[in-house]
């Protein structure tokens, strides 16, 4: 079972790791470890998803002169857990004449692709389940599976609004993947590696990549944020759901926990995009200016989460400020603006590295 090269998170778990290997045969032990890690990541997934929903609701309230959820627990911290319990207990209704198999399959597509996505992130030096040498490439590949779930869900639910939403999703994700990829490729020129842990190591000595790459890196970051927001189907690119046009878009016919899967996946996707931004542009779990480098007990994962939350708040800021684009304007933005700028930026970055103008 050599393919399981896992950096088991933190010291506590490494003792568990040793203990499990000492009490059972090797194959059984590695399977147990796999299950354990899956459970840890599932729990992480649920917690991140639920608390991002809460954060979104709170942040939206603060933008809109409201208070946000404040009834369930202090500052409403159990609100989304209560919501999740409600969704679990609700009946799974469905439309007449749906494609049953695809209809039931679609939420899993969405949720599994996002779950795989978070497995490669280095939350801290030790806390990384799966450190492959093509980390960034793997992330693109996985994140494009999610759109299949949306397409399938919209197609299978026998609803015209859902179908329109799903088709919009298809063209949107396919277009904007280019920009996400190219903007990250610009940064890969700088790091020379696709492995996420290596990318962070590069930044330990040379400073965060957004500083190292200065102008092209900032342009790449801006493009990444725009394209990333579009990838996650969030406003101003939420044509897939487009409340005022399509009702609820592709998940119109989903209810209960199946709807919750789509809903959570959206937030986990946002987390993934923000995490990529943090790893590639803002030094991952590295502390700013190395202020906590000397403190050995300091949980580096905290820096990672702080940075991710900042990026997520920026994305929420977009969402609660801008109107939605029309579908043809969406494509104009990608093909006429983002893509040419991105290509020019890539060249610019190459020149900068060639001339050794990096900081």
Partner 1 sequence: MSYFSDIYNGVKSLITGMKVTGGYFIHARKGAITQQYPDNRETLKMFDRFRGEVVMPHDENNQHRCTGCQSCEIACPNGSIEIIWDRAIDPETGKKKKKIDKHIYHLSMCTMCGLCIEACPTDAIVWAQNYENSVYDRSYLTKTLNQPGSTVQAGVED
Partner 2 sequence: MADQELETKIKTEEYFVNMGPQHPAAHGVLRLLLTIDGEIIKNVEPDLGYIHRSIEKMCERDSYQQIVHLTDRMDYLSSNINNEAVCLAVEKALEIEVSDRVKVIRTIISELTRIASHCLWWGVMGMDLGALTTYFYAFRDREYINDIFEETCGARLTMNYNAPGGLMFDIHPNFVKRTKDFIKHFKTKIPEYDRLVTGNVIFQKRTKGVGVLTKEDAISYGVTGPVARGSGLSSDVRKLHPYSAYDRVDFKEALLTAGDTFARYEVRIMELWESISIIEQLIDNIPEGEIKATTKAVIKLPKGEYYQRVEAARGELGVYINSTGTKNPYRVKFRSPGFSNLSVLNHITKGSKIADLVATMASFDFVIPDIDR
Binding site for partner 2 (CB under 8 A): 60, 63-66, 160-161, 164, 235-236, 238-239, 242-247, 320-329
* Nearest approach, Cβ of residue 156 and partner 2 (Å): 17
Give 245-282 as a DSSP string: HHTTGGGTT--HHHHHHHHHHHHHHHHHHHHHHHHHHS
DSSP bridge partners of 128: 7
Rule CB under 8 A: choose which of 62, 75, 78, 298 binds partner 1.
Answer: 62
One symbol per residue from 305 to 344: x for binding partner 1 (CB under 8 A), - otherwise; what is it? Answer: ------------xx-xxx--------------x-------
Are 272 and 111 spatial neighbours (Cβ–Cβ below 8 Å)?
no
By the 8 A CB rule, do 152 and 102 touch?
Answer: yes
Among 33, 37, 50, 59, binds partner 1 (CB under 8 A): 59
Instruction: Output the smallest distance, CB 244 to partner 2, in A.
Output: 4
> What is the closest distance, in whole angstroms, from the C-beta atom of residue 51 to partner 1 in the complex?
19
Q: Choosing among partner 1, partner 2, none, which partner's interface includes residue 62 (Cβ < 5 to 8 Å by kind)? A: partner 1
Task: Identify which of residues 337 and 357 has a Cβ nearer to partner 1 in the complex.
Answer: 337
Residues with Cβ within 8 Å of residue 199, at least 6 apart in sequence: 135, 136, 191, 193, 209, 279, 280, 284
Tell me whether residue 35 or residue 343 sits nearer to partner 1 (CB atom).
Answer: 343
What contacts 173, CB < 8 A, 6 or more positions away? Answer: 144, 146, 147, 150, 230, 231, 233
Could you tell me the smallest distance in angstroms from the CB atom of residue 65 to partner 1? Answer: 5
In the structure encoding, which two tokens stand for residue 251, read together?
């998940």
Residues of the shown chain interacting with partner 1 in the complex, contacts defined by CB under 8 A: 59, 61-67, 70, 317-318, 320-322, 337
């Amino acid at each position: 079972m050599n393919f399981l090269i896992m950096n088991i998170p933190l010291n506590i778990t490494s003792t568990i790791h040793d203990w499990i290997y000492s009490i059972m045969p090797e194959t059984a032990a590695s399977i147990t470890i796999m299950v354990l890690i899956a459970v840890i990541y599932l729990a992480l997934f649920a917690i991140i998803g639920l608390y991002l929903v809460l954060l979104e609701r709170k942040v939206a309230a603060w933008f809109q002169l409201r208070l946000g959820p404040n009834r369930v627990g202090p500052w409403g911290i159990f609100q989304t857990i209560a919501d999740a319990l409600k969704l679990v207990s609700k009946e799974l209704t469905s439309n007449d004449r749906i494609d049953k198999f695809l209809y039931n399959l679609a939420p899993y597509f969405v949720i599994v692709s996002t779950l795989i996505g978070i497995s490669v992130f280095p939350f801290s030096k030790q806390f990384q389940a799966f450190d492959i040498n093509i980390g960034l490439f793997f992330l693109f590949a996985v994140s494009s599976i999610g759109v299949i779930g949306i397409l399938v869900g919209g197609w299978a639910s026998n609803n015209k609004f859902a179908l329109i939403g799903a088709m919009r999703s298809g063209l949107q994700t396919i277009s904007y993947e280019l920009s996400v990829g190219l903007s990250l490729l610009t940064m890969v020129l700088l790091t020379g590696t696709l492995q996420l842990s290596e990318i962070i190591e590069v930044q330990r000595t040379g400073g965060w990549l957004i500083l190292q790459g200065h102008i092209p890196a900032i342009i790449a970051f801006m493009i990444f944020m725009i394209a990333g927001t579009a990838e996650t189907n969030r406003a101003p690119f939420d044509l897939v759901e487009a409340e005022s046009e399509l009702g609820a878009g592709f998940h119109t016919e989903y209810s209960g926990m199946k709807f919750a899967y789509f809903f959570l996946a959206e937030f986990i996707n946002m987390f993934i995009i923000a995490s990529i931004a943090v790893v590639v542009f803002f030094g991952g779990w590295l502390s700013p200016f190395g202020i906590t480098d000397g403190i050995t007990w300091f949980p580096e994962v905290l820096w990672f989460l702080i940075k991710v939350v900042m990026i997520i708040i920026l994305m929420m800021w977009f969402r609660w400020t801008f109107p939605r684009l029309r579908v043809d304007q969406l494509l104009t933005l990608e093909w006429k603006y983002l893509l040419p700028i991105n290509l020019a930026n890539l060249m610019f970055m190459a020149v900068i590295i060639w001339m050794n103008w990096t900081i």
